[in-house]
Amino acid sequence: MQTISKLFATLSVALALAAPLTAEAAPKKDFKVAWSIYVGWMPWGYAKDHGIVKKWADKYGINIDVTQFNDYVESMNQYTAGAFDAVTLTNMDGLSIPAAGGVDTTAVIVGDFSNGNDAVILKNKDKLEDIKGQNVNLVQFSVSHYLLARALESIGLSERDVKVVNTSDADMVAAYKTPDVSAVVTWNPLVSTILEDPSAKKVFDSSKIPGEIIDLMVANSEVLKDNPDFGKALVGIWYDTMKLMVADTDEGRAARTAMGTASGTDLKGFESQMAATKLFDKPADALAFTTSPSLAKTMDLVRQFLFSKGLLGSGAPSADVIGIEMPDGTVLGDKANVKLRFTGTYMKAAADGAL
Handedness of CA 312, 315, 321, 322 (dihedral sign): negative
Domain end residue (candidates: 208, 236, 258): 208
Domain end residue (candidates: 174, 208, 242): 208
Side chain identity at 118, as an amino acid letter?
A: D
Domain end residue (candidates: 208, 239, 270): 208
- Name the residue range of residue 226's domain: 2-114+213-351
Residues 265 and 291 in one domain: yes
Residues 219 and 166 in one domain: no
Side chain identity at 205, as an amino acid letter?
A: D
In order along its 355 residues, the chain shows pLDDT tens digits of 333 333 334 334 344 444 444 445 678 999 999 999 889 999 999 999 999 999 999 999 999 999 999 888 899 999 999 999 999 999 999 999 999 999 999 999 999 999 999 999 999 999 999 999 999 999 998 899 999 999 999 999 999 999 999 998 889 999 999 999 999 999 888 898 999 999 999 999 999 999 999 999 999 999 999 999 999 999 999 999 999 999 999 999 999 999 999 988 999 999 999 999 999 999 999 999 999 999 999 999 999 999 999 999 888 999 999 999 999 999 999 999 999 999 999 999 999 999 9
Residues 90 and 222 in one domain: yes
- Cβ density class 97-136: b for 16+ within 10 Å, e for less: bbbbbbbbbbbbbbbbbbbbbbbbbbbebeebebbeebeb
Residues 232 and 108 in one domain: yes
CATH of the domain at 346: 3.40.190.10
Residues 289 and 309 in one domain: yes
Please calculate the CA angle 342-344-347 and round it to the nearest 5 degrees: 125
Residues 126 and 167 in one domain: yes
Side chain identity at 26, as an amino acid letter?
A: A
Residues 336 and 232 in one domain: yes
DSSP 3-state of 111? strand
CA gap 334, 321 in Å, rounded: 6
CA gap 347, 108 in Å, rounded: 7
Residues 218 and 274 in one domain: yes
Residues 231 and 90 in one domain: yes
Q: What is the pTM of this model?
A: 0.88
User: Structurally, how many domains does the chain consist of?
Assistant: 2
CA gap 212, 351 in Å, rounded: 23
Please calculate the CA angle 135-137-138 and round it to the nearest 5 degrees: 140
Q: Do 118 and 143 meet the contact criterion of CB atoms below 8 Å apart?
A: yes
Residues 283 and 201 in one domain: no
Residues 244 and 339 in one domain: yes
Residues 234 and 126 in one domain: no
